[in-house]
Amino acid sequence: MSPLATQLADIVGSRYVLTRPAETFVYTADGLPGYRRQPTLVVMPGTRDEVVGVVRLLAAHKVAFVPRGAGTGLSGGALADGAVLLALHRLRRILAIDPENRLAVVEPGVVNASLSRATASHGLHYAPDPSSQAACTIGGNVAENAGGPHCLKYGVTMNHILAVTAVLPDGSVATLGSADGEAPGYDLAGTFTGSEGCFGVALDVTVRLTRNPEAVRTLLADFTSIDDAARAVSAIVATGIVPAALEMMDQPTIRAVEASIYAAGYPVDAAAVLLIEVDGLAAGVEPDVALVDALCRQHGARTVRIARDDAERARLWQGRKKAFGAMGRIAPHLVVQDAVVPRTKLPHVMATIGAIAARHHVTVCNVFHAGDGNLHPNIAYNADDAAESARVHAAMREIMTLCVEVGGSVTGEHGIGLDKLDYMPLIFPEASLAAMCRLREVFDPERRANPGKVVPIRSCREWAGVPATRVARA
């Protein structure tokens, strides 16, 4: 063991410091397929004090570190290249549930879905629901400002974070935001949310809880053209109904799902399906369901199926939530994108993505949060085939450029991490990137927290500009 490892072991116990390659192997990858990075070691504190102790020790040694929750991130944010990986999954206590004020205080390693399970007896849930919610952590959600299907109506992580206690990279502990009255001054909780582990480590998070809806109705509308489905989305959004969720899956995605163990009974001959959920007070739901149903049919839906019971509803959602996993089965590698476009541009963008895919002879699977224009064009491919890889990456670059050109963003919920650094200059002028660097330096003057992520600017002088070598998945 290195002297640093020994000192870390003094804080967390030697079981919780991993140094041998065989032990650290699972920590060399996160949810972003195709990348591996080797951390110098992995440290797994079990309490808040241990986290603070570890961060202080790393500060004293001027060692870079990368916080990690469940490692489900899709932009490579939790990859540590020659840095210490600070794993937070052992901090998984729910510290308080306050039903009267509809809030909870949780440690960062609490798994998203377990929070909603724990609050269910109060008729409450934690609304942001990334499709990875069975595994991902609240700390990771805060760091990525994660979204999810139901964020269309309920808002993304940022809208649900009231306060964060964080240990800053220099080892000082700061309380950001307030759950106990209006916090005057800068919105530091909002600013920390989405900072991708670059501003420090969340030690506890105070989140808003949402009342469970009295009634929920889930519809599956199937279309023979993507264009019709996209137009139906625009029509629904324009009515003023805010569905709880409004998701689209195209034919390649439907086929991947139906061929997997998550088969949901989606029509495999449909060009696209919309999975729509309307929720709220029982009395108000039925008129909205009727209107959504009618709008889908007006825009060419062949059928609109309404889930009869919770089991059918769960099955329809299972297919959607496991769609990435299902795609992973059809080829060894997967590029996952996360662009956002203005909602009126959806028909144009979907048609153009189809044309780009055809031109490059690649298959794009689209599964996405259509209601807020957040696309996930994914391409499954074989990275060992150099020619295919080149075509896939060229197609993706074109797709991302298209989304930016129509006024969009390069990431709606997965974060920039390592994977999307290249795209940042497409959407932000130099002065904005420099301002982001300066903000980071306030939190982390030595740039030791998740170095090399998020802002690719030369003035930050921390990123060489070369995407790391891709290695085949083991």
Partner 1 sequence: MPDELAVTAPRAERVVARDAADVAGFVRDARDTGAAVRLAGRGTWLEAGGRVAAARHLDLSSLTGITEYVPGDLTLTARAGTTLAEIADATAAHGQWLPLDPFGDARGTLGATLATASAGPLGASVGLPRDVAVGVSFVSGDGEVIQGGGRVVKNVAGFDLVRLTIGAWGTLGAIVEATVRLRARPEADETFCVTVPPERDAIATLLANVRNAALEPLAAELLSPACAAGLGLGHRPVLLVRLAGNATGVHHQRSTLSKLATTAPAPSDTWSRLAQSDPVAGLVARVSRRPSELVRLWTTAISLGDVDAHATLARGIVRLRLPAPPAHDLFGTFDAADHWIIERAPLSWTARPGRMAPASDDLSRRIRLAFDSTGILNPGILDL
Ligand X SMILES: Cc1cc2nc3c(=O)[nH]c(=O)nc-3n(C[C@H](O)[C@H](O)[C@H](O)COP(=O)(O)OP(=O)(O)OC[C@H]3O[C@@H](n4cnc5c(N)ncnc54)[C@H](O)[C@@H]3O)c2cc1C
| Stretch 397-426 residues interacting with ligand X (CB under 6 A) | 413-414
Binding flag, residue 107, ligand X (CB under 6 A): no
Write the DSSP symbol of residue 123: T
Binding flag, residue 413, partner 1 (CB under 8 A): yes
Q: Which does 372 bind (CB under 5 to 8 A by kind): partner 1, ligand X, none?
A: partner 1
2 exposure class (CB count in 10 Å sphere: 0-12, 13-18, 19+):
exposed
Q: Is the dihedral of CA 261, 277, 246, 72 positive or negative?
A: negative
Provide the H-helix boundaries in 145-281.
151-154, 188-192, 226-239, 251-258
Residues numbered 200-239 forming contacts with ligand X, rule: CB under 6 A: 201-202
Residues numbered 93-152 forming contacts with partner 1, rule: CB under 8 A: 98, 100-103, 144-145, 147, 151
Residues numbered 291-320 forming contacts with ligand X, rule: CB under 6 A: none
Can you tell me which of 90, 439, 468, 470 binds partner 1, judged by CB under 8 A?
439
Binding flag, residue 247, ligand X (CB under 6 A): no
Are 231 and 271 contacting, i.e. CB atoms less than 8 angstroms apart?
A: no
Binding flag, residue 155, partner 1 (CB under 8 A): yes
Binding flag, residue 328, ligand X (CB under 6 A): no
Q: Which does 73 bind (CB under 5 to 8 A by kind): partner 1, ligand X, none?
A: ligand X
Compute the CA torsion angle 118, 47, 443, 78 (nearest 10 deg). -70
163 beta partners? 177, 206
380 beta partners? 334
Binding flag, residue 444, ligand X (CB under 6 A): no
DSSP per-residue letters across 324-367: HHHHHTTSSEEEE-B-B--GGGHHHHHHHHHHHHHHTT--EEEE
Are 31 and 137 contacting, i.e. CB atoms less than 8 angstroms apart?
A: no
CA end-to-end span of the chain: 27
Spell out, one character per residue from 116 to 135, where the chain touches ligand X: x when CB under 6 A holds, - when not.
Answer: --------------xxx---
* Shortest Å, Cβ 46 to ligand X: 14
Task: Compute the distance between CA of residue 85 and CA of residue 28 in angstroms, rounded to an integer.
Answer: 9
Can you tell me which of 54, 80, 142, 237 binds partner 1, judged by CB under 8 A?
237
Binding flag, residue 178, partner 1 (CB under 8 A): yes
Binding flag, residue 153, partner 1 (CB under 8 A): no
Pairing outcome for strands 94-98 and 41-43: unpaired
Binding flag, residue 31, ligand X (CB under 6 A): yes
Span of 84-92, 249-257, 266-274, 412-420 interacting with partner 1 by CB under 8 A: 412-420
Task: Compute the distance between CA of residue 474 and CA of residue 215 in angstroms, rounded to an integer.
Answer: 45
Smallest CA-to-CA distance from 109 within 56, 47, 160 is with 47
Task: Compute the distance between CA of residue 10 and CA of residue 340 in angstroms, rounded to an integer.
Answer: 46
Residues numbered 11-30 forming contacts with ligand X, rule: CB under 6 A: 30
Q: Which does 141 bind (CB under 5 to 8 A by kind): ligand X, partner 1, none?
A: ligand X
Binding flag, residue 136, ligand X (CB under 6 A): yes
Binding flag, residue 428, partner 1 (CB under 8 A): yes
Binding flag, residue 174, partner 1 (CB under 8 A): yes
Between the CA of residue 449 and those of 7, 64, 365, 446, what are the distances in Å?
A: 19, 6, 34, 8
Binding flag, residue 148, ligand X (CB under 6 A): yes
Residues numbered 48-77 forming contacts with ligand X, rule: CB under 6 A: 66-74, 77
Smallest CA-to-CA distance from 65 within 450, 457, 376, 325 is with 450
Binding flag, residue 165, ligand X (CB under 6 A): no
Span of 137-145, 177-185, 268-276, 394-402 interacting with ligand X by CB under 6 A: 137-145
Residues numbered 26-85 forming contacts with partner 1, rule: CB under 8 A: none
Phi, psi of 37 (to 5 degrees): -135, 145
Q: Which does 429 bind (CB under 5 to 8 A by kind): ligand X, partner 1, none?
A: partner 1
Q: Which does 88 bind (CB under 5 to 8 A by kind): partner 1, ligand X, none?
A: ligand X
* Shortest Å, Cβ 8 to partner 1: 27
Strands (E), 224-306: 245-250, 272-280, 301-306
Residue 95 parent element (H or E): strand 94-98
Can you tell me which of 433, 447, 449, 452 binds partner 1, judged by CB under 8 A?
433
* Shortest Å, Cβ 319 to ligand X: 13
Q: By the criterion CB under 6 A, which residues form the site for ligand X?
A: 30-31, 66-74, 77-78, 88, 108, 130-132, 136-137, 139-141, 143-144, 146-148, 196-197, 201-202, 324-325, 413-414, 450
